């Protein structure tokens, strides 16, 4: 076994990198794959709380890099999914505590025992981002359909290509089909047109993400969430399955269509 290293990044903060990392890791583990998620956001640790594993941290990534503990000691095993592990970030250090070569070394040690290593990148384009993409075999870029997020995604795509880690693949997060139909939100086609990269998946805006994050349970574990289904589909595509894109267009009745015509949107 030699794991594939997938780095999830975005440039802009708050677009869903950590949520995507937690959910794709869980979805891959639900398919029986051996998965380790690494939080590369040193100083702003969050993947642990999103995955619901925050109470079990003893050692973190910086302890591993500095040789305070062995790699195995920093790996937290998820109790719900037998094949899912987390390596948390340090909370009290800064991004310079880890170097790109450290990330490459850690991933090399993990590769023989896993199918996938998912790296949650910090926002920004500085050292933390460079650490996160250093070991990557594949880079996933998350954006939301907003001008600021798309602009930052474009910058990141350029940097990923400059590091010869491309071509990156895109996940459009928090799409609101109703707003797209009213002409008040960029559609996935608009985003792809502007960024010119391949689409891996679309995740609809879904309140169940907030609820599941409150509970510390990845939304992919819940069957009746549309965002959960979208993340499961993306995981299936990462496994090479040909899953059609979700129909994120909200179902419309003739009343809605008529109302929309009268309002002219």
Interface ranges with another protein (CB under 8 A): 146-147, 150-151, 154-155, 157-158, 161, 180, 182-187, 190, 193-194, 196, 261-265
Which is nearest to 193 in space by CA: 174, 170, 212? 170
For another protein, the closer CB: 94 or 193: 193
Q: What is the CA radius of gyration of the chain?
A: 19
Task: Kindly state the smallest distance separating residue 186's Cβ from another protein, in Å.
Answer: 5
Task: Kindly state the smallest distance separating residue 185's Cβ from another protein, in Å.
Answer: 6
- 37-69 core/surface letters (b: 16 or more CB in 10 A; e: else): bbbbbbbebbbbebbbbbeebebbbbbbbeeee
With residue 256 as reference, give the H or E element that holds it: helix 254-263
At 17, is the secondary structure helix, strand, or coil? Answer: helix
Which is nearest to 46 in space by CA: 70, 75, 79, 14? 14
Task: Kindly state the smallest distance separating residue 140's Cβ from another protein, in Å.
Answer: 17
Task: Kindly state the smallest distance separating residue 197's Cβ from another protein, in Å.
Answer: 8
Task: Kindly state the smallest distance separating residue 194's Cβ from another protein, in Å.
Answer: 5
CA 136 to chain centre: 13
Q: Which two three-digit tokens encode residue 62?
A: 């910086």
List, in sequence order, the alpha helices (H) in 92-187.
100-110, 127-133, 147-162, 177-181
For another protein, the closer CB: 1 or 262: 262
For another protein, the closer CB: 54 or 190: 190
CA 189 to chain centre: 21
For another protein, the closer CB: 27 or 186: 186
For another protein, the closer CB: 70 or 257: 257
For another protein, the closer CB: 255 or 262: 262
Task: Kindly state the smallest distance separating residue 154's Cβ from another protein, in Å.
Answer: 5
For another protein, the closer CB: 54 or 146: 146
Task: Kindly state the smallest distance separating residue 265's Cβ from another protein, in Å.
Answer: 7
DSSP 55-98: GG-S--HHHHHHTSS-GGGGPEEPSSSTTEEEEPPPSSS-GGGS
């Amino acid at each position: 076994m030699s794991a594939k290293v997938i780095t999830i990044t975005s440039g802009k903060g708050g677009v869903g990198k950590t949520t995507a990392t937690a959910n794709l890791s869980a979805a891959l583990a639900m398919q029986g794959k051996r998965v380790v998620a690494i939080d590369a956001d040193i100083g702003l640790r969050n993947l642990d709380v999103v995955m619901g594993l925050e109470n079990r941290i003893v050692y973190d990534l910086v302890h591993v890099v500095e040789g305070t503990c062995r790699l195995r000691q920093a790996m937290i095993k998820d109790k719900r999914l037998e094949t899912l592990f987390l390596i948390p970030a340090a909370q009290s250090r800064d991004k310079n505590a880890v170097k790109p070569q450290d990330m490459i070394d850690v991933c090399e040690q993990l590769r023989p025992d896993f199918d996938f290593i998912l790296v949650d990148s910090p926002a920004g384009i500085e050292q933390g981002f460079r650490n996160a993409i250093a070991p990557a075999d594949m880079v996933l870029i998350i954006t939301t359909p907003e001008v600021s997020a798309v602009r930052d995604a474009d910058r990141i795509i350029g940097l990923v290509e400059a590091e010869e880690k491309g071509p990156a693949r895109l996940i459009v997060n928090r799409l609101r089909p109703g707003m797209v139909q009213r002409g008040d939100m960029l559609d996935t086609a608009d985003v792809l047109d502007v960024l010119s990269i391949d689409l891996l998946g679309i995740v609809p805006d879904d309140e169940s993400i907030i609820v599941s994050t409150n509970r510390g349970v990845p939304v992919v574990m819940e069957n009746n969430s549309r965002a959960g289904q979208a993340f499961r589909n993306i995981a299936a595509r990462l496994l090479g399955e040909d899953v059609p894109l979700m129909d994120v267009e909200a179902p419309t009745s003739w009343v809605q269509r008529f109302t929309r015509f009268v309002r002219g949107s």
